[in-house]
Structure 1
Amino acid sequence: MLLWRKHFSYWKTSFILPRLLLGISRSRLLGCVPVSEFVSQNRPMFVMRAFDHTAVGIPTLAGKEPPLYLSNICKRMFASDSTSNSDKTPFPNSPGNLPLMWLFFFASAGIAFYAGYLLNRGYPHLVDYDTFWKLLERGEVEGIVLNHHSPYAFVSLHSVYPGTDKKVVVVPLLQSPENLEKSVREKEKMWDIPQDGQLPIRYGTRRDIADQSGSSPIALVATTIVLSAIVITAYIYWGVKRGKISQIFSSGQSLGGTRPYTKLEPKTPQSSPKKPTVEGKLESDRYSGGLPFSWDPFSGFQSIRPVTTNVKFKDVAGLHASKQEVMEFVSYLKDPKKYQALGAKLPKGALLLGPPGTGKTLLVKALANEADVPFFSMAGSEFVEVIGGLGASRIRQLFRTARAKSPAIIFIDELDSLGRRRTAVDSGGRRGSPGGGGGGGVSEMEQTLNQLLVEMDGMDTAEGTIVFAATNRADLLDKALLRAGRFDRHIFIDLPNLAERKELLAMYLAKYRLSPTILQGELIQHLATWTPGMSGADIARLCNEAALVAARRDTPLEGVLRDDFEVAFERILAGAAKRSNPLSLPERRVAAVQEAGRALVAWLLPRTGLLPVKVSIVPRTMAGLEGSGGLGFTHLVPEERQLFNSEELKDRMAVMLGGRAAEQVIFNAVSDASQRYLHKANELAFKQVREWGMSKAVGNLSFENDPSGNEFTMKPYSQRTQLLIELEAQQLVISAFTRCVELLQANKDKLQRLIDALLQKEVLNYDELVKLCQNQSSSNDVPGSTDTTPLS
């Protein structure tokens, strides 16, 4: 520890000059911002307070130049080269800066590491107490230096210690220095060593102990200073050659830019944003000029450039209503005079809403391509960072770049990550926003959202810059984003209907090699009928999975077969089959009873709109679209309906409880295999009572469920009403279960036939289900199709 304290100052000295050099280089990266932007960028204030209490960016008085004090020089070196009120862009990036900046960086790092190596080379090696006595017995010890203020003994050796290049070792003292000396003398007497041949033991000062290491602090400091001076001289020479260093002492110019201090003039409403002098360069209003990199050193944020897209409207299948709405934007961007002559103004923004995978991003890309305008696409998460002010800065940068290239389209994907609803008080009693963390001030997410609102308020529709955004969580968005004047138009993109699914399948299937035995029109009809509720992305995945299944066969060149589509569909719906982990015989029987009960109840209750087309007791993973894994699955094809009455919903609850009721009929007991379906039935019952007003006891009241799921949230009804809701929901579930048991008891022979067939074959297709239930009259048919031929 003493030696470390001795050399700690030298170690710090070896880093002073390299860190100064890196600080100068870093100042070009971490340019400070003007006073007007301190609210949204709090990080550079540390640099400001480090030099002076006077803020950078204040206009000079009466045209006088600021005095060339050290603080002013440093402030010019660290000051930002652009302000929110400035019309000039930062100094353009120079590709030649990159190699030299890396050279200076690695040279400085090399000096620091070399200084550390010189310091560490002279450190004595630490050995334990027992090793010291062994060295003493072998006669390898030359001398010992002790100190009353040091917990170590410095031992000099005749030769280097094995495995090192050290001739001095350090031994931790387990006793006082006097006792150690006494112990050594006793050992020497025991070994019959004469007095003139005894080991020299002396008590030295801290300097004597430090000198035992053999290091030369003067040489160490001198070497570090010389090497650092060489690098700094090279850096200054390079800066002078490029005209950078001289700018420090010129008329108020910064190290990296060429803009003098100017008086900050407020913008007038008639003023329009100016185009940058250099297009395609990084336009960050918090960096000083001359940034040698084209990315944000904190997060890798790339410079904003238009995105090239080759998507056209003909490449977007379906979405007919949505296409018609966005075509109006194309018409305006191509011929704005027609609308301006009528006094019409284009909406400032459009918000695309809908489930995931429905083609929101694809539609905007097609819009940008058809309109032939620059397209700026960014994700909402790119604007949210831990470092304060980055998000707001990027919003300004994005809109400034888009305005410079107007007419243009800005697209922000996943807007909910940026525009989440603000709240007055967070859970900790502080101001903040959901997920933002107030922390005693405005959160980073709220800063970014505020900047987006300001930028959209300042937009002029005559500029031709339109903002599009997409989200599948519109309920989380802040109301200020949804008001008129920002996102004026809301375009809802729903899941594709039967006709749109046919278009999607025709487009995707054309990319794959199908078997010659397949009639493509018939296959499209079947797949479109069997895929209600699937998005365009799900349908694309279905076709690709079928091709992957075909590639695994021994004869993949014959093309994709119908069986491949069926296997792919089952994998997407219920997950992969777990044939390597077969069920035991009792579990197989429980699975057969469960799946047979659900399929039979769905067949016997035609008002449910659910048609069983396939039943399997092959165990599946939980990776399906509906989490349909478990002991097996029953494929129920739903009708494409938007409305259901109370009786139809009760029938659907009976189907969910069909497996549980079948266990009660066959085993007179229930298992935990039906827990997932029981949970779905409970949710449906509570929705009928609490949200849809389908209970006579509760009446025509509707209470939305808390999306956060917090049970401590204040509810808009009393505890008595809550108890009544629970009792009514419980009664609905009991009634559906009782009805299901009675229905299966009356058709127990059909149920037993289904169970036996499943235990024998494991999988039953639609034809086999029809044969097993043919004696029972049912008007069920495949929805949307008169052809009931299965895929297999």
Structure 2
Amino acid sequence: MSHNESKSREITWQEFRTAFLEKGLVDKLVVVNRKTVRVHLHSNATGIYGDSAPSGIFYFSIGSVEAFERKLDEAQHEIGIPGHERIPVAYRDEVSITNILLEFAPTVLITGFVFYMIRRSASGGSSGGGIFSIGKSKAKMFNKETQVQVKFDDVAGMDEAKEEIMEFVKFLKEPARYEKLGAKIPRGAILSGPPGTGKTLLAKATAGEASVPFLSVSGSEFVEMFVGVGPSRVRDLFASAKKNAPCIIFVDEIDAIGKARGKGGNYGGNDERESTLNQLLVEMDGFGTTEHVVVLAGTNRPDVLDPALMRPGRFDRHIAIDRPDLSGRKQIFLVHLQPLRLAAEISGTELDNFAHKLAVLTPGFSGADIANVCNEAALHAARHAGESVSDKNFETAIERVLTGLERKSRVLSPEEKKTVAYHEAGHAVCGWFLEHADPLLKVSIIPRGVGALGYAQYLPPDRYLLSTPQLFDRICMTLGGRVSEEIFFGIEQITTGARDDLEKITRMAFEACATYGMNDVIGPVSYGSRDGAQEQFQKPFSEKTGEMLDGEVRKMINTAHRRTKELLTEHRADVEKVAQLLLEKEVITRVDMIDLLGKRPFAKKGDEMDEWLDKNTKRGESSAPPPMDPPLGAPIAAAKDIPPPPPM
């Protein structure tokens, strides 16, 4: 509506004809924008309708100009207006400011949005904001204002790795101390190790200890669906590091972009990933030693990284972070026990001994596993409305982490329960009378987890090598359950419960023959692990060698089977005792095994648990475990039947 129309009154065609046209009051008509007709009256008629329209102007809307002209001619003809007195009609196009704004509003909004994004990209591009900053690095900057709270004192169990990492921190803090001797700053370090061992935690501690800027980024953040984004982000990352030098860059999970080139074809994302890796290689080899920029990278798959990335001059140090040993686990437990509200009998002066006990009971645990145990213990205490976290809570937590929750809804029939009892008794007795078997801690016939109807838990020492007798004893101990079923129920009554045991002994026997060179017929050769041979398109040995391997593996397992059967036949009465006690108590511990069978008949084969028993268990004491804090007697963890062999 125009400005004039806002001061006029809208009428209909019928009103126009009867009130104005037939009475001869119309001076002229103006068609505005081909949709509105403005009626101008004679000056002597304005007083008559002045109240309704002060300006003497009325208007009505039309559908089309042609229809209006036809209706106007017909109306004037019917009224009898002569041709020379016909009302003049004018045509006019008028522009409304409101209409212009409404028409151009979308364009204005889009233009304003693009301008805002450009300004935001220019001012905050380094932080990853804006559509035009897609090629900018997403690395998070840590400096004195955003200091990480984790320190080296919070990282336990990896003293050697901390010492090597601390050398980078010292170099960046005091470069002159090294440069005056002619030393050059190392370009970078690879932190490698199994998941959960603390690689990222060590990098966080480096950021907390260093008084230099620290840039943290994940390897996956370089990979996008747009071509060229990864290399652009690498360039921007190193440009930011050079501006803030001395500086530390940490790339977590670098295997996302650092895999060896030329594998898996060059299709789609592989080209982009390789371009990103190429740019990373150029940047690491491009900046000078005087710029004081160090690159740390974490990965649990160092074997897949490109050789060019691992060469000296790029990543000079390869720091392996393995699972902690006994002393390392104790230190980690001491760190994670500090925030917990512990029971009086395990806190204070007893905390060190309690951490040592937990470290003994958790062989092979990583730092993440230990943190999970402490958290599960606190959750268990809260779930049962405890005022503090007790020893029993930690026992339950370790058991849950290893084997899962008890399956109370899974009720075994008496026949199945008896079979499981004799099966687990066979494992226990074999482990008790085999010299190189791992020390037994506990045997249970309570169903747990997904498929475990029973389990025997051992405490393997921190062993890094495995000899032929030790491997053979492990195979025999794993076969103990199957052989016990054969002896007591007959070969016709063998159950499917030994499937997991058979898979383990087959894998161990194959690796002994094909990987470790422990077979006289095959000889001192290594064809890789069984899983690795299956993944390859072509086996690394001939068909004849494959048949020979199958024969030697079967021969080794059959020899172990005969030996195990002879052992359990000799100790048939002992297996009977253990099985009956299992049926009665469902869970028996090493204290019960000593009461039933006596101590293991091997000199100098005791572990730290045996030493504790010698100090804390009186001769003739009942076999029932103490109610609260027996490092050995209570049901504490579970490792199904046999732990996997250590890597060779």
User: Would you say same fold, with TM above 0.5?
Assistant: yes
- Does structure 1 residue 229 correspond to structure 2 residue 65? no
Query: Does structure 2 conserve the Cα–Cα contact (< 8 Å) formed by 1:594 and 1:660?
Result: yes
Alignment of 1:508-657 (within 5 A): 508-518=336-346, 519-554=350-385, 556-557=386-387, 559-608=388-437, 610-622=438-450, 629-657=451-479
- Rate the CA distance shift 1:545–1:444 in 2: closer, same or farther, 3 A: same
- Rate the CA distance shift 1:708–1:403 in 2: closer, same or farther, 3 A: farther
1:786 paired residue among 607, 611, 629: 611
- Does structure 1 residue 668 correspond to structure 2 residue 490? yes
Give the secondary structure class of the aligned counterpart of 1:786: helix
Task: Tell me by how many angstroms 1:525 deviates.
Answer: 2.3
- Does structure 1 residue 409 correspond to structure 2 residue 248? yes
Give the secondary structure class of the aligned counterpart of 2:191: strand
- Rate the CA distance shift 1:233–1:579 in 2: closer, same or farther, 3 A: closer
Task: Tell me by how many angstroms 1:613 deviates.
Answer: 0.8
Equivalent residue, structure 2, for 1:282: 126
**1:520 & 1:283 partners in 2: Cα distance?**
45
- Rate the CA distance shift 1:524–1:711 in 2: closer, same or farther, 3 A: closer
Task: Tell me by how many angstroms 1:528 deviates.
Answer: 1.3
Q: C-alpha offsets along residues 88-119 of structure 1, whole Å, 9 cap, x if unaligned?
A: xxxxxxxxxxxxxxxxxxxxxxxxxxxxxxxx
- Rate the CA distance shift 1:455–1:235 in 2: closer, same or farther, 3 A: same
- Rate the CA distance shift 1:462–1:675 in 2: closer, same or farther, 3 A: same
**1:512 & 1:330 partners in 2: Cα distance?**
32
Query: Does structure 1 conserve the Cα–Cα contact (< 8 Å) formed by 2:443 and 2:456?
Result: yes
Alignment of 1:177-576 (within 5 A): 227-233=102-108, 256=118, 281-282=125-126, 292=130, 296=134, 302=138, 304-306=140-142, 308-423=147-262, 426=264, 431-432=265-266, 438-439=267-268, 443-518=271-346, 519-554=350-385, 556-557=386-387, 559-576=388-405
- Does structure 1 residue 705 correspond to structure 2 residue 549? no
- Rate the CA distance shift 1:347–1:711 in 2: closer, same or farther, 3 A: closer
AA at the equivalent of 1:374 = P
Q: C-alpha offsets along residues 278-319 of structure 1, whole Å, 9 cap, x if unaligned?
A: 7x64277xxxxxx7569759xx98575336411111111121
Query: Does structure 1 conserve the Cα–Cα contact (< 8 Å) formed by 2:138 and 2:221?
Result: no
Query: Does structure 1 conserve the Cα–Cα contact (< 8 Å) formed by 2:245 and 2:293?
Result: yes
Identity of aligned residues (%): 39
Equivalent residue, structure 2, for 1:214: none
Give the secondary structure class of the aligned counterpart of 1:638: coil
Equivalent residue, structure 2, for 1:737: 561
Query: Does structure 2 conserve the Cα–Cα contact (< 8 Å) formed by 1:654 and 1:737?
Result: yes
**2:289 & 2:412 partners in 1: Cα distance?**
65
Task: Tell me by how many angstroms 1:256 deviates.
Answer: 4.7
- Rate the CA distance shift 1:302–1:490 in 2: closer, same or farther, 3 A: closer
AA at the equivalent of 2:444 = S
- Does structure 1 residue 723 correspond to structure 2 residue 547? yes
The normalised TM-score by structure 2 is 0.74
- Rate the CA distance shift 1:712–1:412 in 2: closer, same or farther, 3 A: closer
AA at the equivalent of 1:305 = M
- Rate the CA distance shift 1:228–1:660 in 2: closer, same or farther, 3 A: farther
**2:610 & 2:308 partners in 1: Cα distance?**
46
**1:351 & 1:257 partners in 2: Cα distance?**
39
Q: C-alpha offsets along residues 109-133 of structure 1, whole Å, 9 cap, x if unaligned?
A: xxxxxxxxxxxxxxxxxxxxxxxxx
- Rate the CA distance shift 1:783–1:415 in 2: closer, same or farther, 3 A: farther
**1:537 & 1:635 partners in 2: Cα distance?**
21
Task: Tell me by how many angstroms 1:748 deviates.
Answer: 0.7
Q: C-alpha offsets along residues 727-767 of structure 1, whole Å, 9 cap, x if unaligned?
A: 11111111112211111111011101111111111111221
Task: Tell me by how many angstroms 1:564 deviates.
Answer: 1.4
**1:646 & 1:497 partners in 2: Cα distance?**
23
Task: Tell me by how many angstroms 1:520 deviates.
Answer: 2.4
RMSD: 2.9
Task: Tell me by how many angstroms 1:599 deviates.
Answer: 1.4
**2:552 & 2:189 partners in 1: Cα distance?**
43
**1:339 & 1:229 partners in 2: Cα distance?**
66
**1:602 & 1:323 partners in 2: Cα distance?**
39
- Rate the CA distance shift 1:310–1:791 in 2: closer, same or farther, 3 A: farther
Give the secondary structure class of the aligned counterpart of 1:467: strand
Equivalent residue, structure 2, for 1:163: none
Between the two proteins, the alignment pairs up a number of residues equal to 511
Give the secondary structure class of the aligned counterpart of 2:519: coil
Give the secondary structure class of the aligned counterpart of 1:305: strand
In structure 2, runs of 5+ residues without a counterpart are 1-97, 614-630, 635-648
Equivalent residue, structure 1, for 2:45: none
Query: Does structure 1 conserve the Cα–Cα contact (< 8 Å) formed by 2:472 and 2:560?
Result: yes
Query: Does structure 2 conserve the Cα–Cα contact (< 8 Å) formed by 1:294 and 1:302?
Result: no
Alignment of 1:747-786 (within 5 A): 747-774=571-598, 777-779=601-603, 780-783=605-608, 786=611
AA at the equivalent of 1:360 = K
**1:618 & 1:702 partners in 2: Cα distance?**
41
Query: Does structure 2 conserve the Cα–Cα contact (< 8 Å) formed by 1:613 and 1:766?
Result: yes
Give the secondary structure class of the aligned counterpart of 1:346: coil
**1:388 & 1:784 partners in 2: Cα distance?**
60
Q: C-alpha offsets along residues 632-676 of structure 1, whole Å, 9 cap, x if unaligned?
A: 111110011212211111001111111111111111132211111
Q: C-alpha offsets along residues 262-284 of structure 1, whole Å, 9 cap, x if unaligned?
A: xxxxxxxxxxxxxx997x64277
AA at the equivalent of 1:620 = R
The normalised TM-score by structure 1 is 0.61
**1:474 & 1:777 partners in 2: Cα distance?**
44
- Rate the CA distance shift 1:324–1:379 in 2: closer, same or farther, 3 A: same
- Rate the CA distance shift 1:225–1:378 in 2: closer, same or farther, 3 A: same
Query: Does structure 2 conserve the Cα–Cα contact (< 8 Å) formed by 1:603 and 1:778?
Result: no
In structure 1, runs of 5+ residues without a counterpart are 1-222, 245-254, 259-275, 285-290, 433-437, 623-628
**2:152 & 2:373 partners in 1: Cα distance?**
23
AA at the equivalent of 2:353 = E
**2:342 & 2:216 partners in 1: Cα distance?**
36
AA at the equivalent of 1:486 = R
AA at the equivalent of 1:549 = H
**1:235 & 1:569 partners in 2: Cα distance?**
59
**2:297 & 2:139 partners in 1: Cα distance?**
20
Structure number with bigger Rg: 2
Equivalent residue, structure 2, for 1:691: 515
Q: C-alpha offsets along residues 542-567 of structure 1, whole Å, 9 cap, x if unaligned?
A: 1111111111224x11x222221111
Give the secondary structure class of the aligned counterpart of 1:630: coil
Query: Does structure 1 conserve the Cα–Cα contact (< 8 Å) formed by 2:509 and 2:556?
Result: yes
